Chain A
C-alpha cells in the first residue's frame, strides 16, 4: 500500500471577506506522486496552498507524514526572500535551519550549476530578474530534499532550459519518493507530467483523478487536458 505524505481535509479556509473562500477540499498525495492543481484564475488554487501551509485561517486538518524540520518545501508564485541576504546566504540559512548534512554544499553547487546561477552566488536577489528569483526559490526547495513539495506556478518567468531542468528535478524527486503538489496554468505540461489532477472551481474540487478520469467526465475520450478543462469549466 502506498504511503500518503500529505493528507488534506479542509472544511473551510480563506480571507476574512467571504469572496475568496474554499470549502470541502479533501485530497491526499502519495509518495512519488506528482499532483497537478488546476483551475481558472481566482478559483482557489493559491488559497488552497496557503491553507495547507497554515498561512490562512482554516477549519480542518492538514497532515504531513514526514520528519520534523524538512516536512515540505514551498515554491511561492511570487518569489519571497530577504533583500539583505545573498543567494548563497539564503542557501546557507536554509541548510542550517533544516539541519542538512555536511554534503549539502556539493548538492547546492550542482543545483546552482544546473540552473545556471553559479555566477551570482554572492549577489543580492534584488538585483535578479523575475526568472532568476524564481530559480533561487526552486534551488532552495530542491536543496532541502523534503518529503513534500508545494509548488505554485513554477514556470512563470523561467526560460525553456530552466523549465526543462525543473521538470527533470521534479521527476528525480518523485523517484526519490517525494510527493509534489503543483499548481499551474500550463496545461500541456500538467497533462504530460502529472500523475493525478485536481480541478478546482469556485473554491471546491470538481475533479480529483487521472487524465483518463477527466476525459471520461468531460466526455472527450481522446481530448487534451486543455479541451477537457474548457468543457468542464462550462458546467
Chain B
C-alpha cells in the first residue's frame, strides 16, 4: 500500500511544477499576444477544424503522399517526450535510504507520465483525425487502434532511450541509439503497412497485445533499475527547468545571462575537434588567441554548432520555397540574424570570470571579436549567398551572391557589435 506522505509530497511537487509553468507563461505572454495572436488563431483553427469534419479539404496531393505525411507526423510524435519522476536532489538525504518510499515515488512518476502521455496522444489524434477519417476515409476502429499503439509505443521508446543512456555513453550510445532507431522505423513502417493493407482485426489485436506486453516489460525494468540516481536527478533538473531554459536561451540571443547548466554525471573527457589541443594559428598573438577561443567556443559546443547548422538549413529551405520578393527579404534577414546570434555568443563568452581576470583593452577586444564573428559567419553566409544568388540573379548570381552577402555582413556588423 502506498504511503500518504509520499503521495502528498509527489502531488506538492507536481503542483509546484505547474505553478512555475504558470508564472513563466504569465511573464512571457501578455494580453497583447492574446489579443492579436492567440485568440484570432484559436477562432480560425476551431472554425477550420469543424469545417474539416464536414467538408474534406481540397488538397492537391495523392492519398499515398497524404498517408506518408500523416504517419510521418505520428512517427515524429513517437520520438519526443519524457517520463517525469519529480525526484529532487535532496531525496538522496532521506527517501533514497528507504527503498520502499523511493519506489513509490518512481511508481507515482510513472502513473503521472502515462497520464500525460495519454492526454498528449489524445490531443494529437483528435487534431489529426479528420485526415484519417475524412480525407483518407479509413474506419474509426483502425484510428483508435493506432491511438493505443502510439500511446504504448511512445512509452516504450522513451523508456528504452533512457535505459540505453544508462548502459552506454559517447559514441557507443550513438551506435546503440542509431540501431534502435533503425529497428523502430522498420517495425513502425511494417506495422502501419500491414494494418492499412490487410485491415485484419486479429492482426491488429495481436500486434497491440505485443506492444502492450513490451511496454509493461520496459516499465518494469525501468522501475527496477538501480544505481542511476545521479542520471535521474540530472534529467529531472533539466526537465524541471526546460521551459525556463528555453525562455532564457531565447533571452540569451538578446544578450541576457546564460542559464547555468547542471554538470551531467557522464561528461566527455576530450573533444573530437582539435583533440590534442592543436592551435589554429601558428603565430601567437592576442588577436589570434581571441579568434581561436571564439572559434573553439562555437564549434566545440554541440548546442551552438547545431544552432548555426539549423539556422542555415532553415534559411536555405525558406529561400528555395519562398516567392521571389520574399527570397530577397529572407536573404537580408538571414545576414542580420547570423550577426545577431554570433554577437550574442561573443557577449556570453566575454562574461566569463576567466576572461575578466586578464587585463583587457576593451576597444581592442571588440576589434578582435568583430573579426572572429565575421570569419565564423563567413562559410554559412557564403552558402546562403550562393543559393540565394543562383535563384534570384541567374548564373552570375553564383559568383556575386556570396560576395554581396559577406560584403553586406562586413559593412553592417559594427551596428550589432556591443
Among B146-154, B188-196, B273-281, B376-384, the stretch that binds chain A is B273-281
Does chain B have a CB within 8 A of A85? yes
Q: Say yes or no: B270 contacts A73, CB within 8 Å.
A: no
Interface residues on A, range: 35 or more
Does chain B have a CB within 8 A of A158? no
Interface residues of A in 4-30 (CB under 8 A from B): none
Interface residues of A in 144-192 (CB under 8 A from B): none
Q: Say yes or no: A123 contacts B270, CB within 8 Å.
A: yes
Interface residues of B in 157-212 (CB under 8 A from A): none
Q: Say yes or no: A85 contacts B353, CB within 8 Å.
A: no
Does chain B have a CB within 8 A of A61? no
In the bound complex, how far is the Cα of B14 from the Cα of A42, in angstroms? Answer: 35
Does chain A have a CB within 8 A of B284? yes
Interface residues of B in 325-354 (CB under 8 A from A): 349, 352-354
Among B102-110, B129-137, B225-233, B293-301, the stretch that binds chain A is B293-301
Partner of B296, one of A53, A89, A95: A89
List the B side residues contacting A53 at CB < 8 Å.
356-357
Q: Considering only CB atoms, which chain A residue lies closest to B277 in the complex?
A: A88
Partner of A89, one of B268, B277, B301, B357: B277
List the A side residues contacting B358 at CB < 8 Å.
94, 97-98
Interface residues of B in 354-394 (CB under 8 A from A): 354, 356-359
Does chain A have a CB within 8 A of B285? yes
Interface bits A83-114 vs B (CB < 8 Å: 1, else 0)? 11110111011111111000000000000000
In the bound complex, how far is the Cα of B269 from the Cα of A70, in angstroms? Answer: 31
List the A side residues contacting B274 at CB < 8 Å.
86, 89
Chain B min CB distance to A222 (Å): 40
Does chain B have a CB within 8 A of A31? no
Q: Say yes or no: A90 contacts B357, CB within 8 Å.
A: no
Q: Say yes or no: A74 contacts B301, CB within 8 Å.
A: no
Does chain A have a CB within 8 A of B289? yes
Q: Say yes or no: B268 contacts A81, CB within 8 Å.
A: no
Secondary structure type dominating chain B contacts: loop
Does chain A have a CB within 8 A of B282? no
List the A side residues contacting B267 at CB < 8 Å.
124, 126-127
Interface residues of A in 21-71 (CB under 8 A from B): 53, 55, 68-71
Partner of A92, one of B277, B297, B301, B353: B277
List the A side residues contacting B276 at CB < 8 Å.
122
Q: Considering only CB atoms, which chain B residue lies closest to A96 in the complex?
A: B289
Q: Which of A84, A95, A99, A123 has the most CB of B within 10 A?
A: A84
Chain A min CB distance to B390 (Å): 35
Does chain B have a CB within 8 A of A82? yes
In the bound complex, how far is the Cα of B381 from the Cα of A157, in angstroms? Answer: 46
Q: Say yes or no: A84 contacts B300, CB within 8 Å.
A: yes
Interface residues of B in 271-323 (CB under 8 A from A): 271, 274-277, 279, 284-286, 288-289, 292-293, 296-297, 300-301
Q: Say yes or no: A123 contacts B356, CB within 8 Å.
A: no
Q: Say yes or no: B354 contacts A80, CB within 8 Å.
A: yes
Does chain B have a CB within 8 A of A76? yes
Further 11 A-B residue pairs, CB within 8 A, beyond A53-B356, A74-B357, A120-B269: A55-B356, A68-B359, A76-B353, A81-B352, A81-B354, A82-B293, A82-B354, A84-B271, A92-B284, A123-B270, A126-B263
7 CB < 8 A contacts A-B? A73-B357, A81-B352, A82-B349, A83-B301, A85-B293, A93-B293, A122-B277
Q: Which 6 pairs across A and B sit closest by C-beta, in order of nearness?
A: A80-B353, A84-B300, A96-B289, A88-B277, A127-B269, A74-B357
